[in-house]
A = this chain, B = another copy of it.
Amino acid sequence: MTDRQNPLPWVDTGGGVSRRVLSHTPEVMLVEFRFGPDGFGAPHHHPHIQATYVREGRFEFTIDGVAHIISAGDTLIVPSDAVHSCRALEPGTLIDVFTPRRDDFL
């Protein structure tokens, strides 16, 4: 796909969080996550490598038991299969990149 991408519909993921897929190929996927006050993404893991860019807000990210505080403009990378969770300290938006694509989001 070379064209400007049209996002997929918003999905309520629970925990005060919703997501929508912005664009994707088999190799890479961009997903927007919106966190309300106290939004929480419960601990999980996946084989895909995840790179997170903070669009706005402030978050506590826990990766393999280690907490990281990130805010607007920060990035972090979650290695393949690392257990991670994310709590909003201030409401905001993350742009999550997955490689390869998370087909479970389609």
Contacts and interface: CB of A to CB of B under 8 A. Distances in A.
Contact of A75 (B22, B68, B74, B76): B22
A40 B74 CA distance: 25
A95 B51 CA distance: 12
Interface residues of A, number: 32
Contacts of A68: 3-4
Contacts of A2: 63-64, 66, 76-79, 82
A7 to B, nearest CB: 8
A23 B77 contact: yes
Interface string A9-42: 0000000000000111101101000000000000
A74 B28 contact: no
A30 to B, nearest CB: 5
15 contacts: A1-B77, A2-B63, A2-B76, A2-B82, A4-B76, A5-B74, A5-B77, A23-B76, A24-B77, A25-B79, A28-B99, A30-B53, A30-B75, A53-B53, A99-B99
